[in-house]
């Protein structure tokens, strides 16, 4: 049965070893600029074996250091008669490997028992690539006795135990208070890295603030656009309805632009035709008017029509015929074109319409014509107008008869109007005329 391995491996990679190598690399970077600048240098007052004092900062002696200066920690130098030294040359290795090799060498050469051994080392890398290691060994009993002898110099606080070198950093013997200094240096390093991270965060925030503002504006613009889109459909629908209405009005305007108002044509004919002229048929097709009726002189009627403004192309498609004796009238057919500018619906809109009360007619009429009273202002002639059928009607006479109230009312024929009082016939006999509404 195979045993279960607890090592953290993934695709053959040992993550424990990887993490250890990363930590070692990071620890090695702390001694290299610019990372070394983030580790605060603690000041240590060294009580020398010869009775003097010196000030050290960052493992380097401060020249002309003030005696008893503002040192955060104290250290005591061991005399040479209490130390055993050994110089070693090791190949290029990591800091942890050098520490392990130094520990093995110290145990191998130590004359003291393992529980009585106190040791320390100092490694200096050489230009050739190898490391020069200085070992210092001492007996913990002898160190404790020496500390007790120097208690008056050290005061009440604890002190580290150092073994100085002729040059370079001192050798710190482990187990005598150096952990407090290392812990403070670690806290200071973390604080500085934290301040650096905070500064980078502030700078990053300052750099990214315009982008965030633009993004916020873009989001606000998108929300506003969505809101407008939700409110737009009813407005778009109303706009479409308005455009459809405008198109219909435009088409209606184009249609009405060339339409002739029959009432205006009939009103003009009533005014200009002689009294001895009677219309039997009035046909309006587009801009062409066809008149069929009786008159004493058809040529005179054509001449009168030709002299009118808005009337052109007056002609007789058929010659006038006289039926009966010498005193009979001529039966004529006259065609002419009317101008929409003169008789159109557009020009009739501004005119004041005239109302004609219902008039009794002896013959059936094909269509009825309604005219508004002259007192009705701002009434539309287009609404009052109605197409006149081209079916022949009863003979019509071109004359006006006074209506009730004194207004002139177009009358086609000699019959009395329904709303007007009966008018006495003149002494001179005339042919009976019938009205066409």
Verify that 273 and 406 share a domain, yes or no.
yes
65 phi, psi to nearest 5 deg: -65, 140
Contacts of 220 (CB under 8 A, 6+ apart): none
Contacts of 46 (CB under 8 A, 6+ apart): 53, 54, 55, 56, 74, 75, 76, 77, 162, 164, 170
Reading the block at residue 278, the tokens are 């009677």
CA dihedral 45, 47, 52, 57 (to 10 degrees): -30
Q: Name the domain boundary from 176, 191, 220.
A: 176
Verify that 401 and 277 share a domain, yes or no.
yes
Distance CA 25, CA 181 (A): 22
Distance CA 149, CA 82 (A): 14
Reading the block at residue 100, the tokens are 């392990």
Record the pTM: 0.45
Reading the block at residue 26, the tokens are 């990071």
Domain count, the chain: 2
Verify that 52 and 156 share a domain, yes or no.
yes
Distance CA 406, CA 346 (A): 29
The answer to whether position 247 is within a domain reads no
CB 436 within 8 A of CB 412: yes
Note down pLDDT in tens along the chain; length 437 residues.
Answer: 444 555 556 666 777 777 777 777 776 666 667 777 777 888 888 888 888 888 888 778 888 765 556 788 888 999 989 999 988 888 888 777 888 898 999 999 989 998 999 999 988 888 887 888 899 999 999 999 999 888 888 877 778 899 987 666 788 898 888 888 888 888 888 899 999 999 999 999 999 999 999 999 999 999 999 998 888 888 889 999 999 999 998 888 777 777 888 888 898 899 999 888 888 899 998 889 999 999 988 889 999 998 998 899 999 998 888 877 667 888 999 999 998 888 877 544 444 444 434 433 333 333 333 333 333 333 333 333 333 333 333 333 333 333 333 333 333 333 333 333 444 444 433 344 444 33
CB 311 within 8 A of CB 305: yes
Q: Tokens 């019959």, residue?
A: 415
| Greatest pairwise CA separation for the chain in angstroms | 178
Verify that 121 and 266 share a domain, yes or no.
no
The answer to whether position 244 is within a domain reads no
Q: What domain range is 281 assigned to?
A: 262-411
The answer to whether position 253 is within a domain reads no
The answer to whether position 252 is within a domain reads no
Q: Are strands 160-163 and 73-77 parallel, antiparallel or unpaired?
A: parallel
The answer to whether position 428 is within a domain reads no
Q: Name the domain boundary from 113, 147, 176.
A: 176
Distance CA 163, CA 160 (A): 10
The answer to whether position 147 is within a domain reads yes
The answer to whether position 254 is within a domain reads no
Distance CA 396, CA 436 (A): 7
Cα Rg of the chain, angstroms:
64
The answer to whether position 351 is within a domain reads yes
Q: Name the domain boundary from 176, 211, 237.
A: 176
198, burial (CB in 10 Å: exposed 0-12, middle 13-18, buried 19+)? exposed
| DSSP letter for each residue of 379-436 | --HHHH--PPP-S--S-EE-EEEE-TTS-EEEE-SSSPPSSSPPPPPPSS--------
């Amino acid at each position: 049965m195979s045993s279960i391995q607890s090592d953290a491996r993934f695709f053959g990679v040992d993550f424990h070893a990887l993490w250890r190598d990363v930590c070692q690399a990071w620890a090695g970077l702390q001694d290299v600029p610019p990372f070394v600048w983030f580790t605060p240098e603690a000041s240590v007052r060294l009580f020398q074996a010869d009775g003097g004092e010196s000030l050290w900062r960052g493992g380097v002696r401060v020249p002309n250091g003030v005696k008893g200066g503002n040192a955060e920690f104290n250290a005591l130098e061991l005399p040479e008669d209490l130390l055993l030294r050994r110089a070693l040359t090791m190949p290029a290795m990591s800091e942890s490997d050098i520490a392990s090799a130094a520990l093995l060498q110290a145990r191998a050469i130590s004359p003291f028992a393992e529980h009585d051994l106190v040791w320390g080392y100092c490694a200096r890398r050489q230009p050739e690539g190898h490391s020069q290691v200085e070992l210092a060994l001492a007996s913990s009993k002898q160190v404790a006795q020496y500390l007790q002898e120097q208690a008056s110099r050290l005061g009440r606080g604890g002190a580290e135990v150092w073994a100085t070198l002729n040059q370079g950093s001192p050798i710190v013997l482990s187990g005598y208070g150096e952990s407090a200094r290392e812990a403070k240096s670690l806290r200071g390093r973390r604080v500085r890295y934290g301040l650096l991270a905070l500064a980078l965060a502030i700078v990053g925030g300052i750099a990214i603030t315009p982008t965030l503002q633009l993004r916020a504006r873009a989001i606000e613009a998108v929300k506003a656009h969505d809101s407008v889109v939700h409110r737009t459909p009813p407005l778009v629908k109303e706009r479409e309805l308005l455009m459809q209405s405008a198109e219909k009005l435009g088409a209606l305007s184009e249609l009405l632009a060339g339409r002739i108002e029959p009432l205006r044509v009939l009103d003009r004919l009533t005014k200009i035709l002689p009294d001895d002229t009677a219309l039997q048929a009035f046909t309006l097709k587009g801009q062409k008017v066809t008149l069929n009726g009786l008159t004493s002189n058809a040529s005179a009627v054509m001449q009168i029509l030709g002299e009118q403004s808005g009337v052109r192309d007056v002609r007789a498609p058929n010659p006038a015929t006289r039926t009966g004796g010498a005193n009979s009238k001529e039966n004529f057919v006259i065609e002419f074109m009317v101008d929409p500018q003169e008789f159109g619906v557009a020009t009739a809109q501004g005119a004041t319409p005239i109302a004609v009360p219902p008039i009794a007619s002896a013959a059936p009429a094909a269509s009825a014509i309604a005219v508004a009273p002259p007192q009705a202002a701002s009434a539309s002639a287009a609404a009052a107008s109605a197409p006149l059928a081209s079916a022949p009607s009863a003979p019509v006479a071109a004359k006006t008869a006074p209506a009730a109230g004194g207004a002139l009312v177009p009358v086609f024929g000699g019959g009395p109007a329904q709303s007007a009082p009966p008018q006495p016939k003149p002494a001179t006999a005339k042919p009976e005329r019938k009205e066409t509404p």
